[in-house]
Amino acid sequence: MVISVTLPPALGRRLKDRRSSHRLARAAVAQHGFTLLELLIVLVIIGLLAALVAPQFLDRLESSKITTTDAQIKMLKTSLDTLRLDIGRYPTTQEGLALLVDPPADPALRARWHGPYLESALPNDAWGHPYTYAFSGTGNPPFALYSQGDTTDTSKPSKGIGINPPG
């Protein structure tokens, strides 16, 4: 047995309108996503921007390491000058920069040593290497105090940074 129901025309239109509006809403939700092509284009643009910016950023990083090393060398030179005023001479090559933080073994110099001349331990350069100190006794100043710089990049010659570097 089949029962057939006839709806009034106004109610039938409302039901049809609801079904079609539901389909339109689902279609609108589907349109909010991105296609694979659009995502690939965005990734290519981001890659191009990164390729343009990265070399400039790395150059800036290297120049900031050189500036930091220069500032530390000036600070160490000031500490060496203060040490010389107290004990009457610069450290020998054997004593090195350690004399800025540790008192000398000679009792006469130990009495005039008013250190430590650095607020903390001896710093390393911006590349993590210790500074090189060599007392020559001649020149102004009579010592060399420098950093070897970046020794990992063998494509460029290593140039010392500081006071009287070799070469």
Mean pLDDT, residues 44-51: 88
CATH number for the region 66-163 comes to 3.30.700.10
Mean pLDDT, residues 130-142: 89
Longest dimension (CA), the chain: 124
Considering the entire predicted model, what is its pTM?
0.64
Confidence of residue 63 (pLDDT cuts 50, 70, 90): confident
Q: What is the pLDDT of residue 161?
A: 85
Instruction: Please report which helix (H) or strand (E) contains residue 162, including its range.
Output: strand 161-163
Mean pLDDT, residues 43-47: 90
Residue located via tokens 């105090």: 145
- Residues 125 and 150: their CA atoms lie apart, in Å, by 10
Q: What is the pLDDT of residue 2?
A: 61
When the pLDDT of each residue in the chain is averaged and rounded to a whole number, the result is 82
Confidence of residue 25 (pLDDT cuts 50, 70, 90): low
Domain boundaries, the chain: 66-163
Q: What is the pLDDT of residue 162?
A: 85
Residue 61 pLDDT > 70: yes
Residue located via tokens 């343009």: 52
Polymer length of the chain: 167
If you count DSSP H runs as helices and E runs as strands, how many of each does the chain have, helices first? 3, 3
Give one word for 34, left, alpha or beta, with left for phi > 0 and alpha for psi -120 to 50. beta
Pure H helices in the chain = 9-30, 36-87, 107-112
